[in-house]
Structure 1
Amino acid sequence: MSGNRSRLPVAIVAGPHADARRAAVEEILRTVPGSVALHHDLTSAVDGAVHRTVRDARGPLSGGDAPLVNDCACCALREDLVPELLRLADQGEHRLAVVELWDSVEPQAMAAVVAGVGAPLVLTGVATAVDPALVLPYLSNGDDLIEVGLAAAPTDQRTVGDTFARQLEYPTVIAVVEGGSCGDDVECADETDRALLDQLTPGARKVPVTSGELGAALLAGFDADAGAARVHPACALLPQECDEHGVSTLVWRGERPFHPGRLYAALEDLTCAAVRSRGRFWLADRPDVLLSWDAAGGALCVESAGPWLAALPDAAWEMVPAERRLAVSMDWHPEHGDRCQYLTFTSPGLDRDGLSAVLDSCLLTDEEYAAGRDRWTQLSHAFDELLDPVTP
């Protein structure tokens, strides 16, 4: 049977705003003849299974349950998704398969699954459906997913805010649904809401669901490798400097390393200064380690993203993705190489001057910098509780 499979374009639609997501999927089914949608509902995972539905514009076509894999609903989704897509390809009747992800499922992981299969599946688009009026409340939500019934596994430690941020920043298309949340509790989107969405998603095309263009946008093609590079800490496409409709983005750069003790003492103020901040940075006591900064909803995640390219032997550069090599070649420092401070902060009412002053104060002073690298590595290892201890 596999030799007779027809090429099947696949598009992914993600997002925690269920009404917006469903509206986007329904619009695709209505405007793309021969399209079909798959959805795995993870709310039933507490009963040991994930429920799957397949539908087209006329209604349900089939359904079923996928058992949990290692007590993980997302794992069950991955195990069940590919066979279902291949079954649809075998039928040879569909122009597009739309994978509608559940509320907290992030599109990057599912895009990698689909792209990794290869023929006959062809990943042609990834979108997150968004109601602009809900961007700020969702980004500001520091609740753990497990507390609000949206965890994909018992060990899921993500929060609502950081999950939504990644759902926004990975796709090349933002499906905008406005008006569905207007009511007594939530106001309609205003210019501030739209400015926040625009500043957070600089590389994504905004497509109103009512425009009739969403289906075509999701058939245009999608490069999963480029998508991964777009959000990788080493070469991420970060927001640009902006100040519009009460929303600001501060792009802060520095050449010197941070003093680990002073930066650690300022973490709470820096994390709460903006609804979303991210980027890459380096610490004086870990001069060869590229560190990622990822904050939303008042919660900060600091992780090692591997070595800076300047810390690698020349022979290892060939193993580094071309996107990263190109990115560092544009901004190479004669002494530090690609080591840099590159952080962005986006928020309504951002205190740009105050934030810059705090960040500047965390850099090494002239005297500390002049002491040299051997002395830097002897500074207090204040980030040990967030990162692995420094190797002596």
Structure 2
Amino acid sequence: ELVEDGRAGSADDERTVAQVVTAQVEFADLVLLTGQATDAWTAYRTGAVLDRLAPRARRTSHRADLWAELAELPPTARRGEVDDAHAPLLRGEPPVEPDAGVELVLFSARRPFHPERLHDALDVLLDGVVRSRGRVWVATQPDVALWLESAGGGLRVGHAGPWLASADGEVWGSVDAERAAIAAARWHHRYGDRHQELVVLTHRASAGEITTALREALLTEDELALGPAGWRRFDDPFGSWHTEPCEDGAPERDAGVETTKGLDEQ
């Protein structure tokens, strides 16, 4: 953890070094590789990770002319622009086939997660996972999209703002055209734009085990039949922020962010 060597941003900053590094590489337009790989296999495997973690970024060594490299950035480079939590998760056409034990696992679903089963399934996103990120819909919080990200054995789940199908009808007027178009294209007559979408970058983890664990955390047919009123009775370990590994005993939900009106009215 950053706090272990005095690099934490605040007293409650529980991020790991791996979480920060993978997020920075993922964001970068130019990745500078320093040092030397211990062997050819390590170098190749590192390249396979970067191909999938930062497919749009140029890569160079410390011997390169950085100003010249920056001058060659394509028009599609990020240049400091931060993606919205509802932006497409895959940009830059990363390879989806496995290579050197490295693989991108894509998970999507239209029904909500059971909060307790999702909490129990989070371990599958820690062991053998380089990076995971994406949007989550928990049945007990139907108006709020949750953002999940993990790296290096650390995982956080936090709020990513309201779904467009939430009770707040003014949300539509505040989103960009891309999100509005994507939401309209995938709109469900009952769930609106609510969905699950996760991208998991693995190294020697089983894609099948990850997919199975996440799918088993979704509501069953019987649970779906309970409807939003029944879903509210599920215990929910997710508050405004949730970290893994968590302390003994799940944190209480932040009542200030729990809303249920939107789905009931559809």
TM-score by length of 2: 0.78
The aligned runs of 1:266-277 (5 Å cut-off) are 266-277=121-132
Partner residue of 1:193 out of 41, 46, 51: 46
Bigger shift: 155-164 or 246-255?
155-164
Amino acid at match of 1:289: V
The aligned runs of 1:256-295 (5 Å cut-off) are 256-295=111-150
**Cα distance change of structure 1 residues 334 and 202 upon mapping to structure 2, 3 Å threshold:** farther
Note the aligned Cα RMSD (angstroms).
Answer: 2.8
Which residue of structure 2 lines up, in the alignment, with residue 388 of structure 1?
Answer: 254
Partner residue of 1:237 out of 70, 89, 103: 89
Amino acid at match of 2:26: E
**Cα distance change of structure 1 residues 350 and 360 upon mapping to structure 2, 3 Å threshold:** same
Matched, 1:228 2:82: yes
**Cα distance change of structure 1 residues 237 and 200 upon mapping to structure 2, 3 Å threshold:** same
More helix by share: 1
Q: Deviations over 1:27-78 (max 9, x none)?
A: xxxxxxxxxxxxxxxxxxxxxxxxxxxxxxxxxxxxxxxxxxxxxxxxxxxx
Aligned residues: 241
Amino acid at match of 2:82: A
**Cα distance change of structure 1 residues 210 and 155 upon mapping to structure 2, 3 Å threshold:** same
**Cα distance change of structure 1 residues 150 and 195 upon mapping to structure 2, 3 Å threshold:** same
Which residue of structure 2 lines up, in the alignment, with residue 343 of structure 1?
Answer: 198
Matched, 1:329 2:184: yes
Partner of 1:162, secondary structure, is helix
Amino acid at match of 2:135: R
Query: C-alpha distance in 1, partners of 2:167/2:127?
Result: 34
Which is bigger in relative contact order (C-alpha 8 A, separation at least 6)? 2
Residue 148 of structure 1 deviates from its aligned partner by 2.4
Residue 151 of structure 1 deviates from its aligned partner by 3.3
Residue 176 of structure 1 deviates from its aligned partner by 4.2
Partner of 2:137, secondary structure, is strand
Partner residue of 1:165 out of 18, 22, 30: 22
Partner of 1:336, secondary structure, is coil
Partner of 2:143, secondary structure, is strand
Query: C-alpha distance in 1, partners of 2:210/2:61?
Result: 34
Residue 218 of structure 1 deviates from its aligned partner by 5.2
Q: Which has the larger radius of gyration?
A: 1
Query: C-alpha distance in 2, partners of 1:219/1:292?
Result: 29
Residue 286 of structure 1 deviates from its aligned partner by 0.7
The answer for unaligned runs of 5 or more in structure 1 is: 1-143
Amino acid at match of 1:177: L
The aligned runs of 1:1-392 (5 Å cut-off) are 144-152=1-9, 156-171=13-28, 173-177=29-33, 180-182=35-37, 186-187=38-39, 189-207=42-60, 213-217=68-72, 227-229=81-83, 232-238=84-90, 241-311=96-166, 313-384=168-239, 385=251, 388-389=254-255, 390=258
Partner of 1:316, secondary structure, is helix
Q: Is the 8 A contact 2:135 2:146 kept in 1?
A: yes
Amino acid at match of 1:158: R
Q: Is the 8 A contact 2:25 2:31 kept in 1?
A: no
Amino acid at match of 1:388: D
Residue 235 of structure 1 deviates from its aligned partner by 1.4
Residue 168 of structure 1 deviates from its aligned partner by 1.1
Partner of 1:353, secondary structure, is helix
Q: Is the 8 A contact 1:302 1:386 kept in 2?
A: no
TM-score by length of 1: 0.55
Residue 259 of structure 1 deviates from its aligned partner by 0.7
Q: What is the percentage of aligned positions where both structures have the same residue?
A: 33
Query: C-alpha distance in 1, partners of 2:26/2:202?
Result: 15
Residue 214 of structure 1 deviates from its aligned partner by 0.7
Query: C-alpha distance in 2, partners of 1:174/1:223?
Result: 10
Partner of 2:129, secondary structure, is coil
Q: Is the 8 A contact 1:304 1:387 kept in 2?
A: no
The answer for unaligned runs of 5 or more in structure 2 is: 240-250, 261-266
**Cα distance change of structure 1 residues 236 and 150 upon mapping to structure 2, 3 Å threshold:** farther
Query: C-alpha distance in 1, partners of 2:75/2:233?
Result: 52
Partner of 2:89, secondary structure, is coil
Query: C-alpha distance in 1, partners of 2:232/2:138?
Result: 9
Q: Is the 8 A contact 2:102 2:204 kept in 1?
A: yes
**Cα distance change of structure 1 residues 169 and 314 upon mapping to structure 2, 3 Å threshold:** same
Q: Deviations over 1:311-339 (max 9, x none)?
A: 15544312123342234234333332221
Query: C-alpha distance in 1, partners of 2:76/2:108?
Result: 34
Amino acid at match of 2:201: T
Residue 187 of structure 1 deviates from its aligned partner by 4.2
**Cα distance change of structure 1 residues 317 and 149 upon mapping to structure 2, 3 Å threshold:** same
